[in-house]
Amino acid sequence: MAARRISSLLSRSLSAPSAPSASTPLLLSRGKNPGRGRGVCSYTQHLINGQFVDAASGKTFPTHDPRTGEVIAHVAEGDAEDVNRAVAAARKAFDEGPWPKMSAYERSLIMLRFADLVDKHRGELAALESWNSGKPYEQSAKSELPSFARLFRYYAGWADKIHGLTVPADGNHHVQTLHEPIGVAGQIIPWNFPLIMFAWKVGPALACGNTIVLKSAEQTPLTALYAAKLFQEAGLPPGVLNVVSGYGPSAGAALACHMDVDKIAFTGSTETGKIILELAAKSNLKAVTLELGGKSPFIVCEDADVDKAVELAHFALFFNQGQCCCAGSRTYVHERVYDEFVEKAKARALRRVVGDPFKKGVEQGPQIDSEQFEKILRYIKSGVESNATLECGGQRFGSKGYFIQPTVFSNVQDDMLIAKDEIFGPVQSILKFKNIDEVIQRANTTRYGLAAGIFTKNVDTANTLSRALRVGSVWVNCFDVFDAAIPFGGYKMSGIGREKGIYSLHNYLQVKAVVTPLKNPAWL
């Protein structure tokens, strides 16, 4: 994504607020103003060492409403100097401050208080998330915010359960392993799920006793700053969590190559992930975890209930405007049910409700920005020029904002760009296959390996495919199931390491072996 690659690229019923206007101040809470007399959009400065501060340069950048392209607010534009200040604060908080020296139980209590505050301000956070990203408010309020709070309660539960082992050794020695926090963690999150990615990164890092410098995506900086303010209210000490907003080549690169950052975690595109890895290696060889792109197969077998398979494949692709790294973007359908599936997939796409994400019943909002909008339209044009059959969609929806019609292609071949590249938009590509061996080979012929979906009634088929597909997650007769305890990450060029669950803790810990001689031990 050219100049912005580094930050490009996861219930209770709530009534959606009136759609906010980008031209007037926002008081979404209707009397429950989280800003203590200021608007919910008040937090537009960096958070460094417990204080909201302007960028060192004084620069700001606009963040936009993707429904209209209008400016929501101007946000502090961070660069290397802001990152230096944030890292210095995090370093001091780790080396001298209370966080890693605090008991694990005390750390867990602060995280639990934060989760309670998230519940209290769920409506404001959900509205701000939808306003800045374009996703349906009902999705934000009923799915993502409960998940956000749940993730922090999950990691709070881990805080006092992180421990090492005693290890038997040959000879008279006592051996123990210590699991220690890694230090200052740099974290770069994407724009498609700003709050969920905040939780995936910040939760395990805090549970392990680390301090953090987080760079938000320049497209969606607002909810990370708001969440950081709630952490302050929960009692998180100054300098433990620092948030810098800004662009990838300036703020993101400065964080990735900083000599005093001990670990970098990034979620975004594979191309940017390579840059992050290179910067980390050329600086202090800091530890790196990467959650990157995908081109996930969704395999509909010949025994499938076609109606159910169509609905699940539709969800797997179109959820969040198609802006999911694990979207089921290669829909492989067995030849015996292919024609029926295509017709029903087309009909389902035509029924998809596109519009203002604050309106009840809307399933699809706008794409994130003009750059992504134009990129998706170029891929649609490529599909038409490659002689794939455009079943429906393919055009802009409406006359303003970044809305795209739900688009379905049939007769897609594996060598077409729409079957190879990560489109990151509402474009379903349907391919035909003959047998299991063939679809395994074709599904694995990709540089990605993030996820896969399987739709079948046959347990043997499900087991065969689950073990053969070279991906980090396999969903059988379901898709996009993201429990806090379920690990997530990719094979091949879809990333390094795992998010969520016990595996995410490994990213933020060092293992130290301590060996002590024993004199006349009673036992070994």
Q: Which residues are catalytic?
A: 291
> What tokens were used for 33?
């103003």
CA angle 418, 424, 430 (to 5 degrees): 40
Q: Which of the 8 DSSP states describes residue 209?
A: T
What torsion, rounded to 10 degrees, do the Cα atoms 473, 351, 457, 329 define? -30
In this structure, are strands 495-496 and 287-291 parallel, antiparallel, or unpaired?
antiparallel
Separation between Cα atoms, residue 449 and residue 131, nearest integer Å: 32
Q: How far is CA 226 from CA 194, 195, 462, in A?
A: 12, 10, 43
Q: Which of 257, 217, 31 is nearest to 133 (CA)?
A: 217
DSSP per position, 468-504? HS-SSEEEES------TTS-B--SGGGEES-BSHHHH
- The answer to whether 224 and 84 have CB atoms below 8 angstroms apart is no
- In the block, tokens 């669950």 appear at 501
Phi, psi of 489 (to 5 degrees): 170, 180
> For residue 421, how many C-alpha atoms fall within 13 Å in the half-sphere facing its CB?
15
> For residue 258, how many C-alpha atoms fall within 13 Å in the half-sphere facing its CB?
29
Separation between Cα atoms, residue 115 and residue 219, nearest integer Å: 25
- The answer to whether 213 and 47 have CB atoms below 8 angstroms apart is no
Q: What's the farthest any 2 CA atoms get from each other in the chain? A: 84
